[in-house]
Amino acid sequence: MKRRLSGDCEDSPSSCEGPAESCKRVRQPAEDSGDVLPDWARLPQEMLLHIFQYLPLLDRAFASQVCRGWNEAFHMPELWRCFEFELNQPASSYLKATHPDLIKQIIKRHSNHLQYVSFKVDSSTESAEAACDILSQLVNCSLKTLGLISTARPSFMELPKSHFISALTVVFVNSKSLSSLKIDDTPVDDPSLKVLVANNSDTLKLLKMSSCPHVSPAGILCVADQCHGLRELALNYHLLSDELLLALSSEKHVHLEHLRIDVVSENPGQQFHTIKKSSWDAMVRHSPKFNLVMYFFLYEDEFGPFFRDEIPVTHLYFGRSVSKEVLGRVGMNCPRLVELVVCANGLRPLDEELIRIAERCQHLSAIGLGECEVSCSAFVEFVKMCGRRLSQLSIMEEVLIPDHKYSLDEIHWEVSKHLGRVWFPDMMPTW
């Protein structure tokens, strides 16, 4: 049998045959005579699918032009479950965008296959609008995952709210089985969350909505009340309330796994409300293993209400300068602390604070220090106390102040010894 070249294989009916049969046919000629190549056009669809999964879309698109069989494989639903729309404008981004024709084709041929969808949108309003246009056409699909990701400035915020909401609710209403939803930095509001809850309350497990200014504490409370499967939640501090924590720790609710809170000050001197210790206690009783991640972006004088009582925080990030006093309170009141990052502190060394944290935060395993000061001996003492449980230790070199016991050159050996692995401080170029 003469081998056919892939160019004239269009009439090959390979896709109609059973896989075993076609497997045989692909292999057969090679067994018959050593000098011929296998017929790639007759590769069974499962195998093609397997190979296609490894190929980037563009390569798959090229491959789909080879023959009818490969073209059919290109359109197999399995390859279209997951798609990331990249919406960029040449004027506002350096990155390429998903081609409009591809978007059209996906909406036409594959929208019912889509399950995991994300939109990466640059800082232009046009891109956010384009994302909404696509969203509002996703009427016959059932998404499990939806992510709206602003890669630069949050452009969804610049859309007319009603426009955004109507597009988003199309997905909420049609999907009915959303499990993960990531809508940080968008104008989502209370009524649209109600629609989400009404249609997806049984399936929703993850909700990320940091910096959504149009949502009120009541709006998020409604989600917590209805979505008993919710395991992960990210929101800003102004949405956090005692009621919310109690709702999340009700008997009907599954164990919460992660709660992320961003504490951001909009204007200096802002007053923040407090959360009762009893609410946190209820939370820990209900979900003993839950992680509480808190990101602080506050001025030093805005920390008043925080860390006065015990708080079950596990991951703490201080994005701005935080005072010695507050870090002292962290040492006293954060017994579950696992990770601590301090980007900046005043000019006084944090010696006692670190030692106290080592003493009282028995689970601490990661620490990062930026513009702070610690004496070398206190730092060595800290590492010695924490020992090998310190799996991440990221300290800028300038943080460590040499003293009578250790110079900068000695400290990395001393710390490495206590950690049981080689360690160096982080360096920034001094050029």
Residues 263-322 that bind other proteins (CB under 8 A): 264-266, 268, 291, 293, 295, 297-298, 314-315, 317, 319-321
Question: Looking at 346, 360, 377, 385, which residue binds other proteins (CB under 8 A)?
Answer: 346
Would you give the DSSP letter of residue 3?
P
**Site track 187-226 with other proteins (rule: CB under 8 A), x = hit:** ------------------xx-x-xx---------------
Stretch that binds other proteins, among 20-28, 102-110, 190-198, 403-411 (CB under 8 A): 403-411
Give 118's strand partners.
Answer: 84, 147
Stretch that binds other proteins, among 2-10, 133-141, 303-311, 386-394 (CB under 8 A): 386-394
Q: Which is nearer to other proteins, 246 or 311 (CB)?
A: 311
Q: Which is nearer to other proteins, 4 or 421 (CB)?
A: 421
Q: Which is nearer to other proteins, 173 or 293 (CB)?
A: 293
- Nearest distance from residue 285's CB to other proteins, in Å? 21
Question: Looking at 185, 189, 351, 353, which residue binds other proteins (CB under 8 A)?
Answer: 185
Would you give the DSSP letter of residue 254?
P
Number of residues that bind other proteins (CB under 8 A): 95
**Site track 154-183 with other proteins (rule: CB under 8 A), x = hit:** x------------------------xx-x-
- Nearest distance from residue 235's CB to other proteins, in Å? 13
> Computed from CA positions of residues 399, 404, 405, 410, in that sequence, does the dihedral angle turn out positive or negative?
positive
- Nearest distance from residue 217's CB to other proteins, in Å? 20
3-state secondary structure 309-323: CCCCCCEEEEEEECC
Q: Which is nearer to other proteins, 1 or 427 (CB)?
A: 427
- Nearest distance from residue 371's CB to other proteins, in Å? 6
CA distance linking residue 101 with residue 111, whole number of Å:
14
Does 6 contact other proteins by CB under 8 A?
A: no
> Computed from CA positions of residues 33, 39, 40, 43, in that sequence, does the dihedral angle turn out positive or negative?
negative
Site for other proteins, residues 119 to 158, rule: CB under 8 A: 120, 122-123, 144-145, 147, 150-154
Q: What angle do CA 97, 102, 106 make, to 5 degrees?
A: 125
Q: Residue 69: which H helix or E strand, with range?
A: helix 68-74
Tokens of 277: 């210790």
Would you give the DSSP letter of residue 106?
I
Q: Among residues 92, 174, 105, 168, which one has the least CA distance to residue 131?
A: 168
Q: Among residues 392, 400, 398, which one has the least CA distance to residue 368?
A: 392
Question: Looking at 16, 31, 91, 285, which residue binds other proteins (CB under 8 A)?
Answer: 91
Does 258 contact other proteins by CB under 8 A?
A: yes
Tokens of 422: 């080689």
Question: Looking at 17, 232, 281, 403, which residue binds other proteins (CB under 8 A)?
Answer: 232
**Site track 7-46 with other proteins (rule: CB under 8 A), x = hit:** ----------------------------------------
Does 343 contact other proteins by CB under 8 A?
A: yes
How far out from the chain centre does Cα 101 lie?
29
Q: Which is nearer to other proteins, 164 or 295 (CB)?
A: 295
Whether the CB-CB separation of 20 and 45 falls below 8 Å is answered with: no
CA distance linking residue 377 with residue 351, whole number of Å:
9
Residues 6+ apart with CB under 8 A from 430: none
Q: Among residues 292, 157, 130, 155, which one has the least CA distance to residue 212?
A: 157
Residue with token string 């891109």: 127
Site for other proteins, residues 93 to 112, rule: CB under 8 A: 93-95
Would you give the DSSP letter of residue 426?
B
Q: Which is nearer to other proteins, 8 or 410 (CB)?
A: 410
Stretch that binds other proteins, among 26-34, 167-175, 280-288, 335-343 (CB under 8 A): 335-343
CA distance linking residue 427 with residue 87, whole number of Å:
36
Pairing type for strands 315-321 and 232-236 reads unpaired
- Nearest distance from residue 83's CB to other proteins, in Å? 8
Q: Which amino acid is at 185?
A: D
- Nearest distance from residue 383's CB to other proteins, in Å? 13
